[in-house]
Structure formats: structure tokens, C-alpha cells
Chains A and B, each alone.
Chain A
Amino acid sequence: KAGVTQTPRYLIKTRGQQVTLSCSPISGHRSVSWYQQTPGQGLQFLFEYFSETQRNKGNFPGRFSGRQFSNSRSEMNVSTLELGDSALYLCASSLQIGGDEQYFGPGTRLTVT
């Protein structure tokens, strides 16, 4: 069974631009969560989706948004990029929501210049 895939793996953007990252969960998984990983702040929860609905959101500004499609694939969008948005963005999928085992993708490395 294929694992969680994230595209692109690497991305370089300029301040002020916007970016869209994609996550394809493991087949059959209906829940997708997103995390930001930086050296300074560590791993921080962004949001989670289940059955196309956002169920939980972390403490990030409104520039960060996401959605989930009917096939469970998810995208996250960051508008008006800032230098501090440079990070590894990780996506995780699980069968259900509620303490279920999660499987992480390799991440998208975003660099903002």
C-alpha cells in the first residue's frame, strides 16, 4: 500500500507570494492533519480535516488555510508569505479521527526568500 505522498517536496518562494501544498493520504484514510516544523518552534499543529470538514485548527494566522476533497486529498495554502513561514510542512493521515494511529508523509520543504 502506498504511503502518504506530498507534493512538491521542495519549494522556493519570495516574500508576498502565495503557495499551495498538496497531500495524498493512504488509500482508505479519511483524516488528514498538517504540521509545521521549524528549528525554533518545533512541530506545531496547523489543522485537521475529516470527511471534507475542518475539525480542529491550530494557533496560526488566517494566512494559513486548507481544505480536503471528496477523495480525502488535502491542500494547504499560505498567502502573503513571510520569511518566518520557511519550514518543513508535514501531512499525516489516519483512518478515522479520535486518537487513531497517524502516518506521516516526507514533508514539503518551503523556503521563503
Chain B
Amino acid sequence: GDSVTQMEGPVTLSEEACLTINCTYTATGYPSLFWYVQYPGEGLQLLLKATKADDKGSNKGFEATYRKETTSFHLEKGSVQVSDSAVYFCALSGRGGGATNKLIFGTGTLLAVQP
């Protein structure tokens, strides 16, 4: 079945450092790909998305490119801030089984940014 694998955390960075969180997926067909962020005590917020190969999603300085050839959707940011500290989830929404909003999530990566 469909699945998402993302790098284990925690990832600890100093402010203004570069961030990469790796995410790879297995899916039939052509899924949509998402990054969600969860701040302490809150629900999930959509950070960015891409719906087809070579699409680049971007938001708040974060970017991710849908790479079909490597089945990857790595999250990047050039300069992190303390306020970026949160748990980041990579997710896919498959299209092989008809219309659905079902999301399959990775295990999440905790990012801690130190001042």
C-alpha cells in the first residue's frame, strides 16, 4: 500500500541555519504531496503542497519539489527561525482508489531551533 517515510528527528539547528527534512513516498498512480506543521498543543496546518511531478510548493520561506523520478518531496528552508520550531509531517493523498481526501502521513520530524 501507499506509504511515506521521513527522516527521524529531532533536528536541532541554530537560528539562520539551512534546513532539509527528507521525505520519500511509495504510491500507485500520481499522488498529491503535502507538508503539514504542528505546533505544540495545536492541530495540523498545511504548509505547502504539490499535485504533480516537478511542481514546487512554497510558503513562508519553505519549499519542496515533487520529484517523481526519486519519489521524494524534501522540505527545505534557507534560514530557520526560532518560531519554526514544531513537528513537520510529510503526507500523500493517493488517487488510485477513487475520490478521497485520505492522507497517509510520515512519522513526523521534530525541529528545534535554538537562538
Residues of A within 8 A of B (CB): 4, 31, 33, 35, 42-45, 48, 55-56, 58, 90, 92, 94, 97-107
A33 to B101 alpha-carbon distance, docked (Å): 8
| Bound complex: CA A99 to CA B104 (Å) | 12
Partner of A101, one of B46, B100, B107: B46
Chain A's nearest CB lies how many Å from the CB of B49? 7
Contact B101 A92 (CB under 8 A): yes
Q: Which residue of A lies closest to B45 (CB)?
A: A104
The main secondary structure of chain B at its interface with chain A is loop
Residues of chain B contacted by A31 (CB below 8 angstroms): 101
Does the CB pair A99–B93 fall under 8 Å? Answer: yes
Q: Is B53 in the interface zone, CB < 8 Å from A?
A: no
A2–chain B nearest beta-carbon distance, Å: 14
Secondary structure of the A contact surface, majority rule? strand
User: Which B residues are in CB contact (< 8 Å) with A100?
Assistant: 101
Chain B residues whose CB sits within 8 angstroms of the CB of A92 once the complex forms: 44, 101, 103
- In the docked arrangement, what's the CA distance between A104 and B91, Å? 14
Q: What residues of chain A lie closer than 8 Å to B106, measured between beta carbons?
A: 42
Contacts of A101 in B (CB 8 A): 46, 49
Count of interface residues, chain B, beta-carbon cutoff 8 Å: 25
Name 5 A/B residue pairs within 8 A (Cβ), A-sorted: A43-B103, A56-B102, A58-B102, A92-B101, A101-B49
Pick from B42, B89, B91, B99: contact of A106, CB below 8 A. B42
User: Which B residue's beta carbon lies closest to that of A58?
Assistant: B102
Q: Are B43 and A99 in contact (CB under 8 A)?
A: no
Is B88 positioned at the interface, with any CB of A under 8 Å from its CB? Answer: no
CB of B73 within 8 Å of the partner chain = no
| A25 CA / B10 CA spacing, docked (Å) | 33
Residues of chain A within 8 A of B97, CB atoms compared: 56
B32 is an interface residue with CB less than 8 A from chain A: yes
B43 lies within 8 A of A90 (CB): yes
Q: Are A104 and B43 in contact (CB under 8 A)?
A: yes
Interface code B11-33, partner A: CB below 8 Å = 1, 0 otherwise?
A: 00000000000000000000010
Contact (Cβ within 8 A) B43 A45: no
**Interface pair B95/A99, CB less than 8 Å apart:** yes
